[in-house]
Structures are given as structure tokens and as C-alpha cells.
Structure 1
Amino acid sequence: MRREAVVATVPVAVAALLAAAGPATAGTTGAAGAGDPYFPLAGNGGYHVSHYGLTLDYDPKSRHLDGTAVLTARATQRLTRFDLDLKGLKVTGVTVDHVKAAHRRDGQELVVTPRTALRKGRTFRVTVTYNGTPAPVTDPDGSPDGWIPTDDGAFVAGEPQGAMTWFPADNHPVDKSAYDFSLTVPEGHTAVANGVYLGKRTAHGRTTFRWRQAEPMAAYLATVTVGRFRIEQYTTRDGIKVYNAVDPREAAEAAPVLKKLPSVLEWESRLFGPYPYRAAGSIVDHAPDVGYALETQTRPLYDSAPSLSTLVHESAHQWFGDSVSVTRWKDIWLNEGFATYAEWLYTEQHGGRSAQQAFDALYARPASDALWAFPPADPGSGENIFGTPVYARGAMTLHELRRAVGDRTFFRILRAWASAHRYGHGTTARFTALAERESGKDLDGLFHTWLHTKGKPRSA
């Protein structure tokens, strides 16, 4: 991101993760968090959301949002009460299976008490109506996150906490869901979301855009970015539906980079396996105060015209981070180290410096450099998850693995990782086990040195 399994088995896998990952629950109350030590209140216990239906109406001039969220979920324990993540905004009504439910606010938690208890295994539907002026949260590293107003709409980027600023969610990567969006904005504006574009309808000066993200998606990867955009649509020779939305102020600089998107996706598909989604594209906004891009699923979001290396990075996340998601935020090197190494590989295979040269340039940094400040497999806090070691030293770890096992085995490992956990989740332990299994080598020393040890290794 920033700065710089088969589908049929997914619900079972998610239920197991939620049951194992969440903190202990008291009786029949769903936990207020998914148990992540970096963001203790992110996500919730007691249920899995299979689908979000989001109906939003936004006025960029007044910055007012009206929303209705319909969550289809399954109870993973008996529930007399459960939480949703929602920060700010006024909740005007909550129902569970069309019956009015009691609700109250507790910080970023929307606490819902259905009229009757939900038995374990029951599928239920929660409808929340809400409105207000959405605003971003400030992440531990000082970055804005969530619904970020712009001069012509909103830049909506949710990693790691921001989804809760614009819709009620089970806001942790451990819970992934399908989405349908219905987004209404003033005529002349465009509202861009994830997945396949289903069309638009204009009436009485307002235009409604419809989108569908069918493959599972973590809440932080959802977007509904609004602005005055130039739109480009086409289908690649692989059948991927591309939708690009570009702020006119960024169009000239962005055009030559976006033109390469189909070839970048083809190149990454050869290395990592089939592209995971039916749709692709880019959202290039003019948001100079944001300072980062985000791998929003199927359609990465850029605060300005991206460089080619940034396009390669965010596209690689569609495999590593979006399709294969982290189980805990401390494992984020599995997202960022992999996407950074994709940049190195692209440069190496397109006439630029080799991955070894990129590695050597980093290793030349002194022991006092921030690159060696903490181990990439456990940054230690939410403040560090977007730090240099996660990206650069994460990529260095992959290069060390490549050198240890050879190119043929290395690329087999990457494809196996993307395939085995497609639409699911991974952990550092699972990746290292896979690497040892595919290579037939004991790699404990390598991974201990490069992933789990603070400071500069003595030798490369």
C-alpha cells in the first residue's frame, strides 16, 4: 500500500479464523474486537459478514452523506449482542431481520442488541441507516485514513482503520465479504467503487452508479471515491473489465502509465498466477494532501498521477494483500514486501537494474539507518506497519530466499502462495512453511535473520 483456498471453502475458513483469532467472549456477547494487538477494537467477534449492500448518497458541496448498509452475516456463536465498527455519523435506525433492534454508541463501536438471541450458525441480516459528515481518522503514523474530503468530492481509502468512517463494518482483514454498491452523487460527478461497473442512471440532477465486488474483500480495501473524472473503459484480451477514472488535472501525466496496465497485469499473471478478479482499473484523483496510494481491490487509488513503479506495486497487491490477506496486521510484510519485490522484478525484467543491485544498494546503508530499526515480521506497533523495514527489508527477505532456493523454486513458491490462499488469509509462519516444503530446505536461519531479528545482519 501506502507511501512508497477455493471460493467454496472461504466461509468455513473465515469462521475458523474468527473463532481462533478473537478474544474470549463473555457468554453470548460478540467481542468488541477481532483480537489484533495493534488495533484492539478493529473487527468484531461472534459473526462473519458474507455480503454488504451499501446505498449511499453524497453531496460534495455540503459534504453530507446519507447511508443505508445491509449486512448479511452468520453467527459463529450464540449472540444476544454484537458490535459493528462505525466512527462518527448519526445512526437513525437499526434492524435485525427487519425487526427493530436496540443500539447504542461506545466510541468506535455500534453495539446492537437484537430483540431475540441469534443462535450459532444462523444467517441474519442487519440494516443500519445513518447520516452525517464523514471525516477521516488519523493513523498512528499521522496519515489521514478513511473518508478524506477533496475539492470536488472525496478520496476514500481505508487502510488500516478508515472503513468505519463511512459504513458500519466488521473492520478487520480476517473477515472478507462480497459487496454491492449504489452510489448517488450530483450529475457531473462520478462515484467509483470496487469490482464490476453495472451502470448508471440520472434523474432530477442526481446520478446513481452501481458496482459489484463478487470476490471476497476486506473492508479496508473498499472505496467509493467521488470526483469529476474522465472515464476510460475497455476489456483486456484476457477478459478483464477495466475501468479507469482520472481527474482531468492528472490526466496528461497519468495517461502513459495507465496505458501499461494491461501489460503489467499480464506480466504479473505469468509470475504469480491468474489475475484474481473480473475487473481492474485505476482511480487517479487530485488529492495533494493525502500523500499515498492504496491497493483498493480491483481498482487501486492514487492521490496523483502514479509512476510506473507505483502502478506495478499496487497491481501486485491484487495477489498479495487483496486476494491473500493478512490474518494479523503484524504480518503486513506479506503485503508490502511482496509488492515492493514485484517492483524490483519488473525493473530487472524490463531493462533496468537487477534485483541484486537493488538489494546491494539497501544493504550498503549503515547499521544506524531506519531500514534496520525493527524486524519486518513484527513491526511492534500500528505506528510502524508502513515503515521502511516492512517494505524494503521485506523485499530483501524475498531476495535472500530467491538466492537460497534458486529462481525456478522461488517463483514456484510465489505462485503456490497466491494459489493456496486465494481469496483467503496467510501468516508469516504459513509462508515460511510453504517455502521449506517447496524447496526441501531448512530455511529457519534465513527467515530468523531477515524477518525476526532487529538490526543489520552481519553479512548479505
Structure 2
Amino acid sequence: MHRRFLVPGALAAASVLLAIPASAAGASPGAPGIGDPYYPAYGNGGYDVSHYDLRLTYRPETDELAGTATILARTTEDLSSFDLDFLLDVAEVRVNGATAAFASSGEHELVVTPKVPLAKGTPLTVVVRYSGVPSTKSAYGFSTWHRTPDGAVAADEPESAWWWFPSNDHPLDKATYDVSVAVPDGTQAISNGTLQSTTSRLGWTRWTWRQNKPQATYLATLALGRFDISTGTSEGGVPVVNAYSRNLGDNEGAARASVERTGEIVDWLSGVFGPYPFASAGGYVPNTTTGFALETQSRVYYSPRQFANGSNTSVVVHELAHQWYGDSVSVKGWKDIWLNEGFARYAQWLWSEHEGEGTAQELADYVYASHPADDAFWTVKPGDPGADRQFDIAVYDRGALAVQALRNEIGDEAFFAVLKGWPASHAYGNADIADFRAYAEQVSGKSLGALFDTWLFQPAKPAGPAARSGLTARATVVQPRSWKKIAATNGVHEH
């Protein structure tokens, strides 16, 4: 063992060096994006979040939101600084207890610089104190914070978190959540998961919700306003929490007649996709002017306009199917959106079959016959539609055709084994289309490369033997009875 003696000045310098882990000496800033080519600035590099603890206060009359976010994470590389995706006004940031410098950058980046660089593998506790009026904030020319007559709603895809909490905003970085919101007495705060408590003091009520399973940031939701809340348990034992704005007007009856069937539909879907993956289910219908619905995890968001023409359980089926396909198993990248939308649409076809309003094959035949070969519908590739066509109708309908083609190719026994086994094999994680193809080939024992290429990646209408689909090419196909209800959900993600 060698001893080295240092004079006081050298000792002080050595102490400074010791404060910086040797492995972090060459630390660099974390990337401002997670690497998704569709949305290069979304998400961030250099760390992985495990939990968000959000303690908020909201004033409905002024739309003022204030809070403290505590983010538990771990570095995945040596970091001199890192980004969070966020828009509101930040007062203070602490990293592992020490104050950190911070600055806004670009459209929606909060750049955090800790006092000392962070070595790879370092546990992080990041505390952000913030406030602001979310409805006054925008990025890229839009907002996903939806004001209502008695409050507001945070719900949108592929982004909504920036307006209410700092995050690593991409499905690749899923985390658990505790969301606690104080609102004036008489106002409710609805979020994901299970309601842990409500406590009232001095004119304010605090609502505390917990999501104990990993959740993508865009699937986190917050609804603030005056709601009627219904609770129950499905026949299969799943707790159900639904909420309805008290001023839905003419849409109220149809909304309740649809969403109150959540427990029944969850149980039915469990027979198709396997056990329900979360601790609770449900939905909420706020008094918004938006037209879309969204599969916000365990607490689906529905626009009142979804029920303007009467009850529609098909949209409920679509969004609840996402709890397996999209929420429990999330995409690795946004180009893999078919894994969400193709299967949620196909669940509607299976529900039609269940209700005796048209089989999945009849619906597939109808869609196939409805679009001639020169229709632009066929130029969209569901397996990689591009950011500007991510929610194109072809991703839904041609996406569902691809699912039916798979069913016809491998047979019902293997097909339904795939539908049920896939969510279990990747539960609470992420996957891409290549992963799904490999799983389907493993279960079926068949090579499926040509089928996946034909239906998901070729910008043309599948025809002849290459289609391998079992679809009819008849010029006239009868429209199934369920079609209007299914087509009424075509705009669920147009926002």
C-alpha cells in the first residue's frame, strides 16, 4: 500500500475531485429527446423514471395550478445535465436534496443542471416546485389542457403531461404514480388508478389517487370539476369508478347508458385478452367540446360528442381494449401504433360478433370492398404510417384487416391463443411490431413475414394469393348492422 501526503491546498482540491464520481468525470448532457423519429424532441435521454409523486392545488375559477412533483429515477449514463418535458413556471428544482440550476429550452424542455455531475446508475430524487395557468400555455401551436365550465381536463395523445407535471414524456419510460390534488369543496379531482383517500379542511378537499402499475405519461389524466361519481364492481371482481360532469345536457343519458357497461365489457374482454391488468377500471365524461376519446389508463376519457347520437358501447369496447393493447403493453416507438389501434378496432369487430350484429369476417369483407384499389386508404402503411398519418383511419380499419388476415392464416385456436398470450408475455412493458410477429410465429408455428409485409408495410391494396387473407373480393357486400356504431368512433383520436 502506498501512502501519499498532500499539502492543505492539494487536499482541498482532492476533496473537490472526490465529490465527483470518477465515472462521471466525462459526463455530458442528456439528450433532449428519447430517440423516436416521429417526435424527435419528445422524451429525454440519460435517465429512467420509476415513480411520479404529484401533490397539486387547483383553483377552477382562475385555472391556476400549483404543485410539487417528486420524481424517482435512475441515471442510465453519466450526466452533467438532463431535460424534463414541461411548460409551467418553475420556482425551484432539487436533485438528491441539493438545489439545481434550471432553464427553459425550445418548445417544451426544462433543462436541469445538478450541482455535481451524476454517474451512470445513480438513484435520483428530483423535486420540482411549480405553478401557472395551463390554459395560457402552448407548444408547437397547440394545447392539450381542455378548459371546462367548472374546471379542466388533461387528456391527449401523444402528449398531455407537459401542461400539468414535469416528466420523461414517451411511452418507453413508464412509471407508477401518486396523484394528490386539493380543490375547493364541491369540486372533484379524478385521476388514474384507485382512490386512496379524500380529506377536507378549511374549504378544500384533497383527492389522492394511486396507479400502482407502470403507466406511460400520455396515459396519465387529470379531470377537475363537478362530477357525479358512480362506483361498483364487475361480476368478475374488477372495481369500477365512473364520473360524469353534472352539466352534460342532452348527452348525459346516452353517456351513462354506454359507460356504465364498463364492468360488463371488461369482463367480456378478459375472456378474449386475459385477466384485466389493472387494479380498477372506469371512465369519465367531462363537459368538453373535444370530439375524441382516449384510453387513459384505468380511467378512460370520453368526449360527450361520442354519445351525441345515442348510446354507443362500441367506443367503450375500443378504449377498454387499449387497457391490454396500448396501456399494459405499450409501444416502443410511435411507428408501432398498429399494436394499439389495429387491435382496439378489431375488438370492436369481435364485440359486433358477440352482439350478433355482424361477424369480424363480414366487417373485414365490408371494409375491404369499400375501398377500391386506387383509394388513398391503401397508401397508408399501418406498420409505419408516419407521424402525420399516425391516427389515419387506415391505421384503424386496414390495421384491423391485418388482424383478420392473421386470424384466417393461423386459424382460430392459434389466433385466440395469441390474443390472450401477448398481453401476458409483455405485461407492463413495451414492444414493437417485430416482437409481435415473432410471438405470433412462435405460437402458430408458421412463418408470417409475407403476411405482415403485405398488410402492414405495402402502400397498395392486397390482392390475389399475396393477400393470404380469406377476404372476399365481391363488388357488393352487405353492410353489417354494427357498422354505423363502429364508424361513429372513427374520430376517437382526432384531436
Do they fold alike, i.e. is TM over 0.5? Answer: yes
Structure 1 residue 309: deviation in Å?
0.3
Structure 2 residue aligned with 1:313, among 318, 321, 345? 318
2:382 is the counterpart of 1:376: yes
- Matches of 1:387 and 1:218, distance apart in 2: 22
Aligned to 2:479: none
Aligned to 1:257: 258
The 8 Å contact of residues 195 and 211 in structure 1, kept in 2 or not, is answered as yes
The 8 Å contact of residues 90 and 130 in structure 1, kept in 2 or not, is answered as yes
Aligned to 2:91: 92
Structure 1 residue 139: deviation in Å?
9.1
Aligned to 2:442: 437
Task: Give the count of matched residue pairs.
Answer: 430
Structure 1 residue 360: deviation in Å?
1.2
Change beyond 3 A, Cα 1:194–1:151: same
Structure 1 residue 251: deviation in Å?
3.1
The 8 Å contact of residues 75 and 123 in structure 2, kept in 1 or not, is answered as yes
Aligned to 2:101: 102
Q: Structure 2 unaligned segments of length 5 or more: list them.
A: 1-25, 465-470, 472-495
Matching residue's letter, 1:51: H
Structure 1 residue 137: deviation in Å?
7.8
Deviates most, 197-206 or 332-341: 197-206
Aligned to 2:172: 174
- Matches of 1:420 and 1:370, distance apart in 2: 36
- Matches of 1:123 and 1:251, distance apart in 2: 47
2:393 is the counterpart of 1:388: yes
The 8 Å contact of residues 154 and 163 in structure 2, kept in 1 or not, is answered as no
The SS at the match of 1:242 is strand
The 8 Å contact of residues 73 and 123 in structure 2, kept in 1 or not, is answered as yes
- Matches of 2:448 and 2:372, distance apart in 1: 26
Mapping for residues 62-141 of structure 1, pairs under 5 Å: 62-87=62-87, 89-107=88-106, 108-135=108-135
- Matches of 2:389 and 2:137, distance apart in 1: 17
Change beyond 3 A, Cα 1:433–1:136: farther
The 8 Å contact of residues 263 and 281 in structure 2, kept in 1 or not, is answered as no
Deviates most, 371-380 or 340-349: 371-380
The 8 Å contact of residues 294 and 301 in structure 1, kept in 2 or not, is answered as yes
Aligned to 1:217: 215
2:38 is the counterpart of 1:38: yes
Aligned to 1:294: 294
Change beyond 3 A, Cα 1:238–1:67: same
The SS at the match of 1:81 is strand
- Superposed CA deviations along residues 1-38 of structure 1, whole A, max 9, x for unmatched, are xxxxxxxxxxxxxxxxxxxxxxxxx9532111100011
Matching residue's letter, 1:75: T
Structure 1 residue aligned with 2:192, among 188, 191, 194? 194
Matching residue's letter, 1:293: A
The 8 Å contact of residues 136 and 147 in structure 1, kept in 2 or not, is answered as no
The SS at the match of 2:295 is coil
Change beyond 3 A, Cα 1:139–1:384: farther
- Matches of 2:349 and 2:138, distance apart in 1: 31
Q: Structure 1 unaligned segments of length 5 or more: list them.
A: 1-25
Matching residue's letter, 2:270: S
RMSD: 1.7
The 8 Å contact of residues 162 and 220 in structure 1, kept in 2 or not, is answered as yes
Q: Percent identity?
A: 46
- Matches of 1:454 and 1:419, distance apart in 2: 32
- Higher relative CO (Cα under 8 Å, sequence separation at least 6) belongs to 1
The 8 Å contact of residues 60 and 153 in structure 1, kept in 2 or not, is answered as yes
- Matches of 1:285 and 1:182, distance apart in 2: 19
Aligned to 1:51: 51
Aligned to 2:9: none
- Matches of 1:295 and 1:146, distance apart in 2: 15
The 8 Å contact of residues 379 and 390 in structure 1, kept in 2 or not, is answered as yes
- Matches of 1:452 and 1:201, distance apart in 2: 53
Matching residue's letter, 1:349: H
Structure 2 residue aligned with 1:208, among 206, 209, 220? 206
Structure 1 residue 45: deviation in Å?
0.7
Matching residue's letter, 1:372: W
Aligned to 2:144: 146
Structure 1 residue 158: deviation in Å?
3.3
- Matches of 2:279 and 2:160, distance apart in 1: 25
- Superposed CA deviations along residues 212-239 of structure 1, whole A, max 9, x for unmatched, are 0010000000011112110111223433
- Matches of 1:245 and 1:103, distance apart in 2: 38
Change beyond 3 A, Cα 1:137–1:66: closer
- Matches of 2:362 and 2:303, distance apart in 1: 30
The SS at the match of 1:414 is helix
The 8 Å contact of residues 145 and 161 in structure 1, kept in 2 or not, is answered as no
The SS at the match of 1:358 is helix
